[in-house]
Each structure stands twice: as structure tokens, then as C-alpha cells.
């Protein structure tokens, strides 16, 4: 893989794990504009691992509080950090189970521009509706196990090309009335175990077919994914302290509209 392609795809994949945009939509547009093939599984794991480390680095205080809370819990003391850790773990279990069932019995064409385009546009409209019409009253301390499970289960929609894990979890959190910053924070904390599970699953899958080896492209992808994820997190969380998801919604809608234009033949199928 050429260095330019490696860096560009790593940036797109890394940012797609953070922002409520359509990762499949970006892959489709890059494939259309540059003629590049989709990245292989090993490269995706590498970038995803970098993005995961970026999320953990940004939310290190939450992770430290949860770890300390769990230790206090085992000493017989109630702690908010332990409660949050338990909610995330318990919310991940049904989400992972539903995800494996979904992927085993429901298959979508990941290359369908029509499906990706409509899913991308629909996701932007839903986020717009819930971001502006839902109440904004809940903070992290108001999180309940039921809320976490509902938000976590939305991650199953990632198997539908064009949706995006971050977008659907943030949309559900806004629907449930969480503040914009809290909705993004919940989405990212739930992403940590979800991304670990995905990496383990995909790693087992490729190791059963070929020996595991780390190439230069994967090292570059991991580093770029980490940096891209951190930058995207700082930008998004800073923006949400004073404004809405509107820029991400508009951007996502434009991406989806462009893909639909290609799918319906209003634009050439390739350069």
C-alpha cells in the first residue's frame, strides 16, 4: 500500500471511530475518487487499535476513576466510578451478543452505494431531529443501566453500511435526553470494550487463515489512527461545550447526498 493511501485511509478510519459521520460513506467516496481498494482487515485492526488508544488517552481520568472505584467496591465501599464501570460492562454484554447474532444471520452489501447513501442521509436526519427536539437534562451522573444498555445495543447498527457506531449511539443518547457532551462521552466509553471485542474477533479470524505479521503500513496506520482520534476528540468535545452537532450533521448529509448522486447516475461512477 502506498504511503499516501496508507495515511489517508488511516486518517479516515481513525476519525470515523470518533465523529458521528459515516465511515462507510467516506470509504465509498475515496474508492470512487481515487480508485483505491478497501483496506484489508489487518490494517483496519491496526488503525482501530490506534483510535482505541486515543480514546483511552483522552478519557484517562474516567478510566482511572472507574479502576479506583472498582477497587473501593471490593473493599465494601459504594463508589460512582464502580457504578459507571459496571454499567459499561453490563451494557456491552448484550450489545456484543446481539452483534454476533446480527452479523451471523443478516448480511448487507457493504459496497452498495445506494444502501450506504441512504443510511448516511437517514442517520443525519435522525441525529438532527433528536439533537434539536430532545430534552437536554441528563448528565453522566444521571446514567442508568437501562440507558446504557439501550445506547450500547445501538452499536449493532454498525453492521448496516453507512450508519456508523458513533452516530447511532450519540443519537440514542440524545433521544434519551443526555446533554451533548455527555452523549459523546457515553458513546466513547462504550466504544472501548466494543473496539476491543471487534479487534479480538477480527484478529482471530485472520490468524486462522494466515500467520500474523506486522507491516510498515500497519504501524503507520496505528500511529496515524491514534493521532487522528485524539485530534478529533479534542475538537469535538471542545465544540460540544458551546454548540450542537449541526456541523457534523450537515457534513454527513452532504456525504450521503454525494453517494446517492453516484448511485443514481447523476455523477460518473469513476474519474
Per-residue pLDDT of the chain in tens (271 residues, 90 and over written 9):
678 888 888 888 888 889 998 777 777 777 777 777 777 888 889 999 999 999 999 999 999 999 999 999 888 888 888 999 999 999 999 888 888 887 778 778 777 889 999 999 999 999 999 999 988 889 998 999 999 999 999 988 888 888 888 999 999 999 999 999 999 999 999 999 999 988 888 888 887 776 667 788 889 999 999 999 999 999 999 999 999 999 999 999 999 999 999 889 887 765 4
pLDDT of res. 65: 94
pLDDT of res. 16: 84
Query: Is 71 contained in some domain?
Result: no
Cell readout for 188 is 466513547
Cell readout for 220 is 503507520
pLDDT of res. 173: 96
Query: Is 87 contained in some domain?
Result: no
Q: How many domains does the chain have?
A: 1
pLDDT of res. 205: 80
Q: Which residues pair with 60 in a beta bridge?
A: none
Q: Which of 47, 40, 41 is nearest to 10 (CA)?
A: 47
Q: Which of 82, 223, 92, 193 is nearest to 148 (CA)?
A: 92
Cell readout for 232 is 478529533
Query: Is 114 contained in some domain?
Result: yes
CA distance 251 to 66: 34
Q: Which of 8, 38, 22 is nearest to 111 (CA)?
A: 38
Query: Is 70 contained in some domain?
Result: no
Task: Let me know: does 188 contact 151? Beta carbons within 8 Å.
Answer: no
Query: Is 257 contained in some domain?
Result: yes
Cα-to-chain-centroid distance, residue 271 = 30
Query: Is 150 contained in some domain?
Result: yes
pLDDT of res. 215: 82
**What's the predicted TM-score (pTM) here?**
0.91
CA distance 169 to 184: 8
Residues spanned by the domain of 17: 3-60+108-263
Place of cell 481515487: 34
Cell readout for 23 is 465511515
Query: Is 80 contained in some domain?
Result: no
pLDDT of res. 1: 61
Query: Is 66 contained in some domain?
Result: no
CA dihedral sign, ordered 138, 140, 144, 150: positive
What are the distances in angstroms from CA 1 to CA 38, 87, 151, 206, 216? 11, 41, 36, 18, 9
Amino acid at each position: 500500500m502506498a504511503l499516501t493511501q496508507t495515511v489517508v485511509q488511516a486518517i479516515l478510519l481513525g476519525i470515523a471511530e470518533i465523529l458521528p459521520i459515516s465511515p462507510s460513506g467516506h470509504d465509498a467516496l475515496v474508492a470512487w475518487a481515487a480508485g483505491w481498494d478497501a483496506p484489508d482487515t489487518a490494517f483496519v485492526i491496526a488503525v482501530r487499535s490506534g483510535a482505541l488508544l486515543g480514546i483511552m488517552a483522552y478519557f484517562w481520568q474516567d478510566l482511572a476513576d472507574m479502576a479506583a472505584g472498582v477497587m473501593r467496591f471490593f473493599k465494601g465501599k459504594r463508589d460512582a466510578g464502580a457504578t459507571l464501570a459496571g454499567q459499561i460492562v453490563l451494557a456491552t454484554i448484550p450489545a456484543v451478543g446481539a452483534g454476533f447474532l446480527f452479523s451471523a444471520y443478516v448480511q448487507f452489501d457493504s459496497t452498495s452505494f445506494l444502501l450506504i447513501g441512504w443510511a448516511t442521509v437517514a442517520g443525519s436526519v435522525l441525529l438532527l431531529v433528536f439533537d434539536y427536539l430532545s430534552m437536554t437534562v441528563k448528565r453522566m451522573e444521571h446514567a442508568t443501566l437501562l440507558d446504557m444498555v439501550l445506547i450500547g445495543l445501538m452499536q449493532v447498527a454498525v453492521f448496516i453500511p453507512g450508519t456508523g457506531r458513533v452516530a447511532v449511539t450519540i443519537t440514542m443518547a440524545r433521544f434519551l435526553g443526555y446533554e451533548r457532551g455527555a452523549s459523546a462521552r457515553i458513546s466513547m466509553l462504550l466504544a472501548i470494550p466494543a473496539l476491543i471485542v471487534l479487534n479480538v474477533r477480527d484478529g482471530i479470524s485472520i490468524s486462522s487463515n494466515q500467520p500474523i505479521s506486522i507491516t510498515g503500513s500497519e504501524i503507520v496506520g496505528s500511529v496515524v489512527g491514534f493521532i487522528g482520534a485524539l485530534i478529533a476528540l479534542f475538537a469535538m468535545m471542545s465544540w460540544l461545550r458551546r454548540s450542537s452537532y449541526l456541523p457534523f450533521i450537515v457534513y454527513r448529509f452532504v456525504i450521503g447526498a454525494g453517494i446517492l448522486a453516484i448511485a443514481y447516475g447523476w455523477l460518473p461512477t469513476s474519474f
